[in-house]
Structure 1
Amino acid sequence: MNGYIERQKSANEFSLTDLPLRPDLRGRVPYGAPQIDAPVRLNTNENPYPPPSTLVEAMVSAVRSSTGELHRYPDRNATELRADLAAYLGHGLTAGHIWAANGSNEVLQQIMQAFGGLGRSAMGFDPSYSVHAIIAATSATEWISGARDDDFRLDPDKAVAAIEELRPDIVLLTSPNNPTGEVLDLEVIERLAAAATGMVVVDEAYFEFTRPGTPSALSLLASNPRLIVTRTLSKAFGMAGTRLGYLAAHPAVIEAMELVRLPYHLSAVTQAMARVALAHRDEVLSTVEAVCAERDATAAWLRGIGLEVLDSDANFLLFGRLPDRHAVWERLLWRGVLIREVGPPGWLRVTIGTAKEMATFRAELEDVLWSCVREAHGRLGGTSTVPAVSPLA
């Protein structure tokens, strides 16, 4: 009995540190934006508009049709979905150029599994999408952080020099970049691809939010067999809960993905819902214009009250420079507005929501900034009142 009690006590005190975890994973914390049920959630770059009722009805019908075959495994290679994705992208692509998985993060993970791994390296240019480095770490791929300029833009000459010197096996570019919103010129992508000896991945998760006429890296695929362009239905399509990401590349890259994918990784329900969304894409993407208009109006307003704002071609804005960004983030949350404390110190990122949500954001942010000014004024021994001007102007 005493031995049983001792074993139970040991089991109750058991923790992650007692497991034979890979040494390189020790001390890490899981990735994830705060999931807080705030009245106004502007922190994860989702499309703020729910699927239209016609799409919902079509999806329900498609899922109902697929349930009769749920006792069977789904199409392992998602052939019909990949054909639909190719038709959506254009550029002469076929199903043989497309690969799909559970969100673009799984696509990126499969890229790392195929072309990274022990003894290999991946390079990105920070600040950028932090999950790139996390996926590299979990796939035992060395992560190399390349630098951006003081304005957070990518300097092509410095980037080429870094690639030629360090010779990473994978170069990760993000366009529009998260969290800055910068779009890379095609000439820059071509230069970096020419300098690279391995694979070059252009993450275009937010491409549908770019300004009209913005060219996609898809146009470079025909002449660059080691180039990969990743996309998602989570952002502009408003399908974050569906989990569908995909890539376009040379057919040889698709063969590589088949080597590392899990059997039947993409469910029949996911495939059916994604195909319906693509069939209704004109209706689904009709909200993009409203989001972009709200983005530009919000950027102008933030600059009007004295904040710095980076030009963005995505559905978010990075703004600063704030002496205490955590205090601003926290006070906004107290007021029911959740944005993202991410990126360089002194900066915050806000996802563009509906007109009503952004009106609330503006009102609450201005009030928060005023309260910070009053407190600072008081600490400096000033009077209890401050001039009636913009808080940071």
Structure 2
Amino acid sequence: MLHGHGDDGYRHSQKIIADFSTNVWYGGEPAGLKEYIFSQWPTVNRYPEVLAESLAAQVAAHHGVAPAQVLISSGTTESLYLVAQAWAGRCSTVLTPSFAEYEDACRLHGHELRFRPWNELQPDTRLDSDLVFICNPNNPTGSVLESNVLDALLANNPGTVFVLDEAFIEFTTRIQTATPRLMRFDNLLILRSLTKAYAIPGLRLGYVVGPAALIARLVQQKAPWAVNALAAAAGNFIFAHYTKVQLPLSQLLADKAALAARLAENPGLEIFPSHTHYFLGATGHGTAAELKRWLLDRHGLLIRDAANFRGLTLAHFRIGTRNATDNLLLINALTEWTDSLA
């Protein structure tokens, strides 16, 4: 799905005043990161490390695992395409609605695909597939898979590899990362992103943590030098200053709650619960595509048309919370939208 994601402002000629279409932290990169990356410019005169080994060692130390259990990638999307390639031709279950690249990566590599509604996953669910892709917290819904459910699924399905996408784990207080479970389970791969919470999606950086045997299987598919030197430098900075570069999550979630509550008062909208800073809505008038175009043309506001998520409808859209001033712009604009169509 090359052109079906959020943060697609580059495709529009209008001036964008506030971008609610992206679920990347709106506050920008951590203080000092830009200056550090610029100081590393001489590294571009040489090839980077083949597998970003130095950064992998930092990540391993952070999570308390062996370096052989970490693979650095150029973002979560590359990670999941590597997984699909490493299990090419096998059977995969994709939960819906969720990130469309799971399905796209599997189709590219000849998987037999099965689909299961995300909210029907229970502790006693039995999965007869080689892989199952789970986004936790889920994109676009903001739902979470509780730790006791995940533990039961891993134990009850030992022949299935669970590909757990934690790209948005920094945006919730409901659950913690599943990396400690690698001490108990050998059928778990955890995909992490370093672009969402640190606002560097243009650098493309992420990693996979898992059992050494599964990571070695991914390494066999990995192209050399896929992580450029400046992206690796950004990762080095983040883990060297980890406690100082975390986003203000309590404030962000409080702003989300206030925004969602105000929008829920709009009779022309349906707002869905979420454990993250982003959430789904549905318009009772017209389609999300029409609403997106209207907001952009009239107010310079960009939202995510969510109709192309399998399992959602033409009315669904996704909103990523911004600051209180921007949020009020959206509240007022959506009130104008529903009033104009009433």
The counterpart of 2:291, out of the listed 307, 311, 328, is 328
CA–CA distance in structure 2, aligned partners of residues 258 and 29 of structure 1 = 25
Match of 1:85 among 56, 59, 63: 59
- Aligned pair partner of 2:209 in 242, 248, 260: 248
The 3 A distance-change label for structure 1 pair 283 and 241 is farther
Paired residue secondary structure (1:93): coil
Q: Distance in 2 between matches of 1:294 and 1:135?
A: 35
Tell me if structure 2 keeps the 8 A contact 1:237–1:281.
no
Name 1:55's counterpart in structure 2. Answer: 33
Contact 1:328–1:369 (CA under 8 A) maintained in structure 2? no
CA-to-partner distance for each residue in 1:86-114, whole Å, 9 max, x for gaps? 333x3x32322211111110011111111
The C-alpha deviation readout for 1:201-235, integer Å capped at 9, x for no partner, is 111110011116x2322222111111011110111
| Equivalent residue number for residue 101 of structure 1 | 73
SS of match in other structure, 1:277: helix
Answer whether contact 1:179 1:318 (CA < 8 A) is retained: yes
Query: Which runs of no fewer than 5 residues in structure 1 stay unpaired?
Result: 1-27, 374-393
1:308, CA displacement in angstroms?
A: 3.2
Q: Spell out, residue by residue over 1:34-57, the C-alpha distance to the aligned partner (whole angstroms, 9 max, x if none).
A: 333522111121111122442221
Task: Compute the displacement of 1:122 (Å).
Answer: 1.2
For 2:22, the equivalent position in structure 1 comes to 44
**In structure 2, what is the Cα distance between the partners aligned to 1:191 and 1:110?**
26
Which of the two has higher C-alpha Rg? 1
1:304-327 CA distances to partner (integer Å, 9 max, x unpaired)?
A: 334433222223111225242333
Pick which of 347-356 and 28-37 moved more. 28-37
In structure 2, how many angstroms separate the alpha carbons of the residues matched to 1:286 and 1:206?
Answer: 12
Q: CA deviation at 1:29?
A: 6.6
The within-5 A match list for 1:1-393 is 31-33=4-6, 34-35=8-9, 36=12, 38-61=16-39, 63-67=40-44, 70-71=45-46, 73-88=47-62, 90=63, 92-115=64-87, 117-118=88-89, 120-148=90-118, 153-156=119-122, 160-161=125-126, 163=127, 167-193=128-154, 194-195=156-157, 197-211=159-173, 214-306=175-267, 307-320=269-282, 322-326=284-288, 327-334=290-297, 335-342=299-306, 343=309, 344-345=312-313, 346-373=315-342
* Greater RCO, 1 or 2 (C-alpha within 8 Å, sep 6+): 2
- Between the aligned partners of 2:296 and 2:112, the Cα distance in structure 1 is 36
- Between the two proteins, the alignment pairs up a number of residues equal to 328
Shift in Å at residue 246 of structure 1?
A: 0.8
* Counterpart code for 1:145: F
SS at match of 2:92: strand
Distance 1:93 1:270 in 2: 22
Aligned to 2:148, the other structure's residue is in SS state helix
* Structure 1 residue 64 displacement after superposition: 2.7
**CA 1:225–1:56: 2 relative to 1, 3 Å:** same
Deviations 1:282-310 (A, max 9, x none): 33323333322211211221223344332
Listed one character per residue, the Cα deviations across residues 245-282 of structure 1 (whole Å, up to 9, x for unaligned) are 11110111121111000122222222112211222333
Give the distance between the partners of 1:53 and 1:203, measured in 2 at CA.
27
**AA paired with 2:338?**
L
Is 2:86–2:217's contact at 8 Å kept on the other side of the alignment?
yes
Q: 1:316 to 1:78 in 2, by over 3 A?
A: same
Moved more, 78-87 or 169-178: 78-87
| Equivalent pair of 1:31/1:131 in contact (CA under 8 Å) | no
Q: Tell me whether 274-283 or 74-83 shows the greater mean CA deviation.
A: 274-283
SS at match of 1:358: helix
1:206 partner letter: F
The offset of 1:352, in angstroms, is 1.3
Matched AA of 1:353:
R
Query: Which structure: greater helix fraction?
Result: 1
Task: Give TM-score, length-normalised by structure 1.
Answer: 0.78
Rounded Cα–Cα distance in structure 2 between residues aligned with 1:203 and 1:313: 16
Q: 1:304 to 1:251 in 2, by over 3 A?
A: same
* TM-score (ref. length: structure 2): 0.89
Amino acid at match of 2:26: P
Q: Could you say what secondary structure the match of 2:281 adopts?
A: strand
Does the 8 Å contact 2:169/2:176 carry over to 1? no
Task: Give RMSD over aligned pairs.
Answer: 2.1
- Contact between 1:46 and 1:234, CA under 8 Å: does it hold in 2? yes
3-state SS of 1:247 partner: strand
My pick for the range that moved more, 50-59 or 262-271, is 50-59
Contact 1:43 1:340 in 2 (8 A): yes
Distance 2:278 2:86 in 1: 31
**Which secondary structure does the structure 2 equivalent of 1:313 belong to?**
coil
